[in-house]
Every structure is written in C-alpha cells, then in structure tokens.
Amino acid sequence: MDKATAYKEITDNGGEPYARFFASQNPDHPLTPFCHRYLFEKDLDARIAAHDEQRGFALKSLAQMESSAHIAQAAASASRDAASAAQTSASSARRSAFWTMVAAIASALGVVVNAALNLGWLDWARHIVR
C-alpha cells in the first residue's frame, strides 16, 4: 500500500476520527502506520496554522502600537504648537497692556490739564510766577 492510496482511504472514511479509531483497533494492519503519519501531519498542519494565526495577531498588534505612537507624536506636536501660540499671544497681550497703560496715563494727564484750564488754575499759577 502506498501513501496516496492510504491517505485517500482515510480521507474517504472520515479523516482524523477514522484514522484514530482504525489505528487503535487494528495495530498490526498495514494501514495503521499511515494512520499515525496522517494524524501527525494533520496535527503539524494545525500547529503551523495556529502559529501563523499568532504571528498575524502579533503583526496586527505591532501595527496598532505603531499607529498609536504616530497618533501620540501628532498630539505632542499639536500641543507644542498650541503652547507656542499661547506664548506668542501672552507676549502680545503684555505689550498691549503696556501701551494701554501709557495711553491711560496720557489721557489722565490730559484730563488734569483740561480741568486746570477750566478751573483757572493755570491763570492763577501764571499770576503767582510773575
């Protein structure tokens, strides 16, 4: 009996369950070594498939981690840009506050001079200086 004929008989009769049963019931039959080999190869194929599945899962996990890292880098870059914009805005606000204070002081001096003119204090001061 050759391998192809034996495997065909095993497959036609139900595959793995048939091979297990036949090998346990007929240890001296010429088909029994082929049953053991058939079961070994099926087990090996299953292990390879499981390994490939685990490898695929590992690759998918790695891709997700890389994607998360890229997202984190983009978020950090956006945070740096926002901090830079906030710093620029704060600097502009400080300059604006300074010049607003200068304008307020000039306005207050204008109000004081105008009040002095209206109350006649400048005429009185000129009169005393003479």
The parts of the chain modelled with pLDDT lower than 50 are: none
Residue 86, pLDDT score:
95
Question: Considering the domain boundaries, does residue 110 fall inside one?
Answer: no
Residue 124: Cβ-neighbour burial (10 angstroms; 0-12, 13-18, 19+) = exposed
Instruction: Give the type of residue at 15.
Output: G
Distance in Å from the first CA to the final CA of the chain: 142
Residue 67, pLDDT score:
86
Question: Considering the domain boundaries, does residue 117 fall inside one?
Answer: no
- 45 Cβ partners below 8 Å, 6+ apart? none
- Residue 51 near residue 38 (C-beta atoms within 8 A): no
Residue 36, pLDDT score:
84
In the chain, the number of structural domains is 1
Residue 82, pLDDT score:
94
Query: To which residue do tokens 């204070």 refer?
Result: 101
pTM: 0.42
Residue 75, pLDDT score:
92
Residues of the domain holding 40? 3-91
Residue 40, pLDDT score:
87
| Per-residue pLDDT reduced to its tens digit, 61-93 | 888 888 888 889 999 999 999 999 999 999 999
Question: Considering the domain boundaries, does residue 67 fall inside one?
Answer: yes
Question: Considering the domain boundaries, does residue 87 fall inside one?
Answer: yes
